[in-house]
Amino acid sequence: MKFGIVINEGPYTHQSSDSALQFVKAALGKGHEIFRIFFYHDGVNNGTDLGVPPQDDRNLAKEWSELAEKHGLDLVVCIAAAQRRGMLDADEMKRHGKNASNLSKGFRISGLGQLIEAGIQADRLVTFGD
């Protein structure tokens, strides 16, 4: 089965990001395909490279990045939601005249068309968070 995943909540304010991560790992372990993971609303905070969780806590952005690298996953951060929350990649940093980018490795910024495509291409679109 081919899944599209939507994550609407941040990494440490709600369980949904961690639940999505565990779901994706389990689905991949069972041989399913993950077409795309789309981070929307506060879910874009999963892609920040500036989060520094305590040493005894999990670094979900790093875990997403490592999982994406290992399995060739497409991690897409909604551009509008990201910009509202101060998240930029190198291109958006230049375009807006800012002096820093903060998108974690393996994530990319794009628009809602990527979510629509995931809904069309996937057999199931699974949403985590409100």
Q: Where are the domains of the chain?
A: 2-50+58-128
Domain spanning 2-50+58-128 has what CATH number?
A: 3.40.1260.10
The catalytically annotated residue of 78, 81, 109, 122 is 78
How many Cβ atoms sit within 10 Å of the Cβ of residue 90? 11
For 27-34, what is the mean pLDDT? 98
For residue 49, CA distances in Å to 29, 45, 56, 126 come to: 27, 9, 18, 25
What residue type is 66 in one-letter code?
Answer: E
pLDDT digits (tens, 9 = 90+) for 92-112: 999 999 998 999 999 999 999
Three-state secondary-structure class, residue 126: strand
Residue 111 annotated as catalytic: no
Whole-prediction pTM value?
0.95
For residue range 52-90, what is the model confidence (pLDDT) as tens digits? Answer: 888 888 899 999 999 999 999 999 999 999 999 999 999
Which percentage of the chain shows pLDDT scores above 70? 100
DSSP string of 12-61, one letter each residue: TT-THHHHHHHHHHHHHHTT-EEEEEEE-GGGGGGGBS-----TTS--HH
